[in-house]
Amino acid sequence: MERLGHMIQNAVDNGLWLPFRFIRNGTPLSHLFFADDLILYAKADLSQAEAIANILSDFGPMFCYLRDPDVALSRFTFADVSNVDGNWDISRLAALFDNLTIVYILSVKCPNLDDGADRCMWRWTPKHNFEFKSAYTTLSESLWSPKQTIWPVIWHLQVPQQIRHMSSEPSCPVCHYPHETALHALRDCDAAREIWLQILPAALIRPFFDCNLQQWISCNLSATMVYPLSALPWKLVFVSLAWQIWKRRNDLIFQDSAPISDMAVINRNLVWAKHYSEGATA
């Protein structure tokens, strides 16, 4: 943003950008920068709009990908980075952008005057014109089906009854919390939470329980720390214990078996984690 400020000030000094005054003989304002926003001030006419557009074009959106930040992109056209065959000129692109950006640019067809003007097209009609009927049909077919064949297939499987049983009951069958989710079953259910609290270091308890499912899984699987009581990688202890908690829950619900103790779950978890840790280093 500092560079944009210099660009605006240079335009003001050269008379290209006419700043705004709130009162006669007041302080002229051309811009205000905030932490995550900005306000631009100029005289309300077409020439000033063009001046602002030119500066913003030079500044971005490709500015952060340029090899040389002093290059003014507004002075370039597609003809400057394409060859006579109508394809991208890689050597010219390489002089402007880094390699990763060039890969993305090459994945897009180089514009060609023979392609005609851009226009909107509706893919679900033969002539690519939008029709309400086609929109309704498309939404109906993709979002709703009155007869889904998967349910009879599941019902007629030759498997034990409990495998075929699928409950629509939204509450947790263990602690009876009204809305069970995957995160609730693995972490927030009273039965699961008691197990986690027995192995978590005190400093990790609050962040461990204060994130959503994606953050919870991602942070714990990318952790590099070692579980202090066993010298095992925490990510192995974490994923193994999550599985043991899930298995104990399912045994209780589907097998009607008596729940094993928290300590038994933890000990079984450490045995599993040690086994896979030794297998990974063998």
Instruction: Return the H-helix or E-strand segment holding 193.
Output: helix 190-199
Let me know if 243 is exposed, middle or buried by CB neighbors in 10 A (0-12, 13-18, 19+).
middle
Q: Is the pLDDT of residue 235 over 70?
A: yes
If pLDDT is split at 50, 70 and 90, which confidence band does 73 have? low
Full-model pTM? 0.41
With a cut of 70, say whether residue 55 has pLDDT above it: yes
Question: Can you read off the two tokens belonging to residue 17?
Answer: 């950008």
Contact indicator for 233, 269 with CB cutoff of 8 Å: no
Burial (0-12, 13-18, 19+ Cβ within 10 Å), 33: middle
175-181: Cβ within 8 A, 24+ apart: 181/213
Give the span between the Cα atoms of 93 and 99, in whole angstroms. 9
Residue 72 reports pLDDT greater than 70:
no
Helix (H, G, I), strand (E, B) or coil at 276: helix
- Give per-residue burial for 85-97: e unless 16+ CB within 10 Å, then b: eeebbeeebeebb
Extract the tokens encoding 253: 């619900």
What is the residue-averaged pLDDT of the chain? 77
Average pLDDT over residues 124-147: 73
Q: With the C-alpha atoms ordered 240, 246, 249, 255, is the resulting torsion angle positive or negative? A: negative
Residue 160's pLDDT band (boundaries 50, 70, 90)? very low
